[in-house]
Amino acid sequence: MNYISTRGQAPLAGFEEVLLTGLAPDGGLYVPEAWPALTADDIADFRNRPYAEVAARIIALFTGEAFSQAQLLDIAGAVYGRFDHADVAPLTKVGAEDWILELYHGPTLAFKDFAMQFLGRLFDEVLARRGERLTIIAATSGDTGAAAIDALKSCAHVDVVVLHPEGRVTDVQRRMMTCVDAANVQNIAVAGSFDDCQAIVKELFADRAFVSQVRLGGVNSINWARIAAQTVYYFTAAAAVAETGEGVSFVVPTGNFGDIFAGYVAKKIGLNINRLAVATNANDILHRAMTSGDYAPAGVAPTLSPSMDIQVASNFERLLFEVMGRDADALRVKMDGFKRDGAMRLSAGEREAISADFLSYATSEDETIAELNRHFEATGALIDPHTAVARVAAQALRQQGALSGKVVTLSTAHPAKFPDAVMQATGTTPKLPLAHRDLFDRPEVMTNAANNTDAIKQAILASIEQKA
Ligand SMILES: *Cc1c(COP(=O)(O)O)cnc(C)c1O
């Protein structure tokens, strides 16, 4: 399996390189040179199989020669065995043709564990093989950081640096990052937004001298291996709710367009998906792009669903590449224009191609609060605000007639990660699972930095020097 860059100016890369580098050297994103394909029989065979087995089978489509099927099965067994639910990604029925897919049973209570735990093992294996050491940098809107730290804290060959926007993540989210006692972890609170953190990471990667000096690698949602690992639960969910292989739609709370792009990949490689619905909060650039063609970032508005407080959705470039017929030259011109003008327009043809697979809805804060409460009253169970954003979208799109048949809504975080929002809406405080009950008794370790790439560079160099 070879990978190409969406911008067309990077050499072909194998899975190991794609795993270790994240971003392609021409600034583009890696995608498979050709889509692998599963048959309807392959997919039907996933029904009733353990999650880890399906995961190994699907991820093997993307790893090429880098890992054997037996190695992947070992890794998947170890990774998903740590989840606190036997089904790993259990479904709850919430309506005649509606389900919620619970993706928060991993060690840091958000869906990011599915990919990140897997990546941690892949990194350690590949780096041990090569006798190399890597500095992993991640920008986080709240959940990626904790997932990366938990996944990498015991890796012998990796240092981890996580940038989070100061004051814009919940206390539980922050403590899940800063209360981890591990010598290879550095947390930096940046005086800015998530988009600022993401821009700093991009600039660090653009500095080739710095990249090779500290052996910089990335695990942000642009990392192809994360997308690959996230395709798995689309298959297991569809297998569980669509006995005869009929089409299923998915509603996905979306920020960086990573999770929903994994759904698109599942469709590309053979899964019968009717529609993929993007659910955004007030930071609705994707909804605006899909409905009016205007991909124009506004300021980031803090909301009750902070992991989606994002304007520039990095993975959207991968979808554009597909709907532009994989024309890397045309895409490069478009992305250069976006960098220059700070905005871009989608053509009518591009919008039409997108709407063949996607729908979108922007949920307001009032709707989110009402849904948190409605869901609790109706079912007695609490959901988190990101899930509420998506449930509002699912119900509204069904009512509009845009969605019909079986619909699975992705539940991306445990409600206890967002206790204030849940309490505000329902009057009930969600309890942290047992493994996290001492979170507020542990000491926090982090540094603060200005919203400035040089300041971050100095902080990383200083911490590496200290260890040397
Ligand atoms: C990261 C995150 C999202 C958004 O996922 P993307 O892949 O960035 O679209 C949604 N919900 C939660 C809880 C998250 O942590």
If you measure from the C-alpha of residue 312 to the centroid of ligand 1, how many angstroms do you get, rounded to a whole number? 13
Distance (Å, rounded) from C-alpha 161 to C-alpha 259?
A: 23
pLDDT digit string (tens) for the chain, length 468 residues: 999 999 999 999 999 999 998 889 898 999 999 999 999 999 999 998 999 999 999 999 999 999 999 999 999 999 999 999 999 999 999 999 999 999 999 999 999 999 999 999 999 999 999 999 999 999 998 899 999 999 999 999 999 999 999 999 989 999 999 999 999 999 999 999 988 998 999 899 889 899 999 999 888 888 999 999 999 999 999 999 998 999 999 999 999 999 999 999 999 999 999 999 999 999 999 999 999 999 999 888 999 999 898 888 989 999 999 999 999 999 999 999 999 999 999 999 999 999 999 999 999 999 999 999 999 999 999 999 999 999 999 999 999 999 999 999 999 999 999 999 999 999 999 999 999 999 999 999 999 999 999 999 998 988 777 765
257 lines ligand 1 (CB under 6 A): yes
113 lines ligand 1 (CB under 6 A): no
Q: Outline where 293-384 has alpha helix (H).
A: 316-323, 328-341, 348-355, 365-379
Structure tokens at 311: 């304007």
Nearest ligand 1 atom, CA 141? 1
Structure tokens at 235: 């298959």
228 sits in which H/E element: helix 224-230
Instruction: Please tell me the predicted confidence (pLDDT) of residue 468.
Output: 58
If you measure from the C-alpha of residue 68 to the centroid of ligand 1, how many angstroms do you get, rounded to a whole number? 30
Amino acid occupying residue 294: D
Distance (Å, rounded) from C-alpha 223 to C-alpha 129?
A: 20
Torsion from C-alpha of 240, 241, 245, 251, nearest 10 degrees: -110
258 lines ligand 1 (CB under 6 A): yes
Distance (Å, rounded) from C-alpha 246 to C-alpha 303?
A: 36
User: Can you count the helices (H) and strands (E) in the chain?
Assistant: 20, 15
Distance (Å, rounded) from C-alpha 409 to C-alpha 278?
A: 11
| One-character DSSP codes across 123-155 | HHHHHHHHT--EEEEEE-SSHHHHHHHHHHTT-
Cα 386 to chain centroid distance, Å, stands at 13
Amino acid occupying residue 53: E
Q: Please, what's the b/e burial string for 423-448 (b: 16 or more CB within 10 A of its CB; e: otherwise)?
A: eebbeeebebeeebeeeeeeeeebee
Residue in 144, 260, 281, 308 to alter for ligand 1 test, most ligand atoms within 8 A of Cβ? 308
Distance spanning both ends of the chain, measured CA to CA = 37
If you measure from the C-alpha of residue 219 to the centroid of ligand 1, how many angstroms do you get, rounded to a whole number? 14
Q: Count of CB atoms within 10 A of residue 68's CB?
A: 12
If you measure from the C-alpha of residue 468 to the centroid of ligand 1, how many angstroms do you get, rounded to a whole number? 35
Distance (Å, rounded) from C-alpha 120 to C-alpha 147?
A: 10
If you measure from the C-alpha of residue 258 to the centroid of ligand 1, how many angstroms do you get, rounded to a whole number? 8
The class that CATH gives domain 91-109+226-426 is alpha beta
255 lines ligand 1 (CB under 6 A): yes
Whole-structure pTM value: 0.95
280 sits in which H/E element: strand 273-280
Q: Whose CA is nearest to atom 11 of ligand 1?
A: 412
Of 447, 419, 451, the residue nearest 433 (C-alpha): 419
If you measure from the C-alpha of residue 293 to the centroid of ligand 1, how many angstroms do you get, rounded to a whole number? 23
Q: 345 has which bridge partners? A: 294
21 lines ligand 1 (CB under 6 A): no
Q: Given 93, 112, 153, 417, which residue is catalytic?
A: 112
Distance (Å, rounded) from C-alpha 176 to C-alpha 179?
A: 6
Residue in 412, 414, 417, 422 to alter for ligand 1 test, most ligand atoms within 8 A of Cβ? 412
Find out whether 193 and 297 touch, Cβ atoms under 8 Å. no
Q: Please report, for the chain, the start and end positions of each structural domain, with discontinuous segments joined by +.
A: 91-109+226-426
Residues 6+ apart with CB under 8 A from 70: none
Find out whether 141 and 309 touch, Cβ atoms under 8 Å. yes
Nearest ligand 1 atom, CA 259? 7
Q: 262 has which bridge partners? A: none
Nearest ligand 1 atom, CA 412? 13
| One-character DSSP codes across 407-422 | EEEEE-B-GGGSHHHH
Nearest ligand 1 atom, CA 253? 10
386 lines ligand 1 (CB under 6 A): yes
185-190 and 447-449 strand pairing: parallel
Distance (Å, rounded) from C-alpha 359 to C-alpha 368?
A: 19
Residues 6+ apart with CB under 8 A from 347: 293
Find out whether 223 and 19 touch, Cβ atoms under 8 Å. yes
259 lines ligand 1 (CB under 6 A): yes
Q: Count of CB atoms within 10 A of residue 414's CB?
A: 25
254 lines ligand 1 (CB under 6 A): yes
Of 2, 7, 5, the residue nearest 35 (C-alpha): 2
User: Does residue 112 have an active-site annotation?
Assistant: yes
If you measure from the C-alpha of residue 217 to the centroid of ligand 1, how many angstroms do you get, rounded to a whole number? 21
Distance (Å, rounded) from C-alpha 22 to C-alpha 204?
A: 13
Nearest ligand 1 atom, CA 142? 15
